[in-house]
Amino acid sequence: MPRTLKSIPSAAKRLTRDEKKAQTRERLLEVGRKHILEHGLGDVVAERIAEEAGYSRGAFYSNFDNKDDLFLAIIEQENEAHLAIFEELLQRDVSGPELLHLIRGAFADKLTNPDWIVLQAEFQAGALRSQRIRECYLEQYRLFMKDGCNALNVLGKIPEIRFALPPEELFLTLFTFAHGLAVNLRLLGTERPSQKQLRKLLFSVHDKLVSIKPAATHPA
């Protein structure tokens, strides 16, 4: 049976130099993330990451200055992914109570995610020993405060939603609670509360700070 044009395999697209470099970088980030989650930043070895990723030591150092540089790129990816989730929720055409319910769930999902717990705890520990990581931590903090307060200002315009604190104080409270929780859970290890217990705690904290206004009652 003659082969049709459709059945003839096309030559694989040749990657450009920039595409190859981007592919190498993404693979190193993927393997580096795995190593940090398994061993912690302090015990990570750049050469082992490069070896598992299938690249040379030189390929690692042509993409990252050192393992701290790799770690900060991973943190940036992680934070952008979580920020995108909340930005997408704020764009939804839903009622105030439904939006708050979705944000409440996303808040709990983020803070009980095992990967997030490890990465954020390592980020804070790294910031205590490395000036470079500390500067990036402060930069991320300022960015989160700006974006978080903007998001709360959007929520605050919805008539049904009530805040227990002004937007800036509210976000600072949530930020401090979330990052303190990450360190505590990292230290507790297997003795940490169950996912169910954690979610119950997070919902309780969230509902104390952000809630739905009770419906107005009218005298008969």
Residue 184 lies in a domain: yes
pLDDT at residue 40, as a whole number: 94
Q: Which residue has the tokens 């809630």?
A: 211
pLDDT at residue 18, as a whole number: 83
Residues 60, 73 share a domain: no
Q: What is the pLDDT of residues 128-150, one digit of tens each?
A: 999 999 999 999 999 989 999 99
Residues 178, 94 share a domain: yes
Q: What is the count of structural domains for the chain?
A: 2
Q: Which residue has the tokens 């993927």?
A: 30
Using CB atoms within 10 A of its CB, is residue 124 exposed (0-12), middle (13-18) or buried (19+)?
middle
Residues 100, 204 share a domain: yes
CA-closest candidate to residue 91, choices 145, 142, 155: 155
| pLDDT tier for residue 8 given thresholds of 50, 70 and 90 | very low
Residues 73, 43 share a domain: no
Residues 206, 107 share a domain: yes
Q: What is the pLDDT of residues 160-210, one digit of tens each?
A: 999 999 999 999 999 999 999 999 999 998 899 998 999 999 999 999 999
Average pLDDT on 81-99 reads: 92
Any residues with CB less than 8 A from the CB of 96 and at least 6 apart, and which? 158, 159, 160, 161, 212
Residue 217 lies in a domain: no
The whole domain housing 146 covers: 68-212
pLDDT at residue 215, as a whole number: 66
Q: Check whether 92 has a pLDDT greater than 60.
A: yes
Lowest-confidence pick of 4-13, 19-28, 82-91: 4-13
pLDDT at residue 180, as a whole number: 93
Give me the CATH number covering residue 83: 1.10.357.10
Residues 31, 113 share a domain: no
The Cα-based distances of 186 to 75, 104, 111, 158 in angstroms read: 16, 23, 12, 36
Count of alpha carbons within 13 angstroms of residue 152, beta-carbon side: 23
